[in-house]
Amino acid sequence: MILLPLQVSVQFHARVWGGQRLKPTTKPEIPIGEAWLIHELNTVQSGVFAGRSLKALALEFGSDLLGTNYKASRFPLLIKLLDCADWLSIQVHPNDLQAVQLEGVGQLGKTEAWHLLEVDAGAKLIAGVKNGISQVVLETAIRSGNVQDVAQFEAVQSGDTVMMHAGTMHALGPGMLLYEVQQTSDITYRVYDWDRPASAGRALHLEQSVAVTTTSAAKAQHEPVFSSGAVVLTTCPYFVLEKLKNTTKAVPDGSSFHTITLTKGSAMLECAGMTMQLQPYDSIIIPATSPAYSLQGNFEALRSSVPAA
């Protein structure tokens, strides 16, 4: 069945470390840290599927929406924006097997990638563990609250991309606005929370962290230079992340849906006679069976999809 592009509602989430760039609020004590642009519980904004969730559409249309590369009927990716005004907790996520073992049947692990959109001078993040740290030393540091001593801090800049595999300890620092693509999972094991009060929603998960954290590290990759079209920023078994610039055309082949988030400028989406004007941070889903589409204008955007197994 041919399906046309979809635009869905956005979910905003307050976070203790959040800022004012995603959704300014008159209550600064409740800062918005995350905008969930595309998630299985987001609902379609208009058209014949208005009000229906991506979860429901995935169940009904299966590979017509998701593509043949993904062998389940659950929408597999979560696309976010994060506005970091303070340090996020030092944390880690399980892989798929560990998620089932620790959290139950049906749970997914969480591998993610970040593309940094706006970065203040001097901003840093944590991307794994220092070279030479053993698993025993790492586990001791987690249990004793001294993970900062073994963490790999890395300076970053706008345009950098970081692939963060499950099991890699990490934290985002203040002064960043970024795009995140990840598996559809919200399992986070908090290793250290910068001595914030341990409220019910921000408990530490030390033994789970010990069980899943590896001594791996990640490196930021600088954005390639190109003038138009599409280039791959990073890829893994769960997703491919591409950067788009200016005029871009694509013909979905049924293997995967595409998600597109505009990050700069403006663009006109054209697909089978329908048009849609996109502004920064507008996001759309191109179903796997969609006809050919094009983006016209002076813009930058990020596109995510599911690769072949």
Evaluate whether 88 touches 19 at the Cβ level (below 8 Å). Answer: no
**Long-range residue pairs from 271-278, CB within 8 A, at least 24 positions apart, any chain:** 271/4, 271/5, 272/2, 272/4, 274/4, 274/5, 276/5, 276/7
Residue 190 a catalytic site member = yes
Residue 115 φ then ψ, to 5°:
-120, 120
Q: Which of 73, 76, 82 is nearest to 96 (CA)?
A: 76
Residue 250 in 3-state DSSP?
Answer: strand
Neighbouring CB atoms inside 10 A of 199's CB total 9
Q: Of the listed 74, 190, 196, 303, which one is catalytic?
A: 190
- What does the DSSP assignment read for 151-217? EEEEE--TT-EEEE-TT--EEE-SSEEEEEEEES----EEEE-TT----GGG---HHHHHHH--S-B
Distance CA 79, CA 296 (A): 23
Active site members: 190
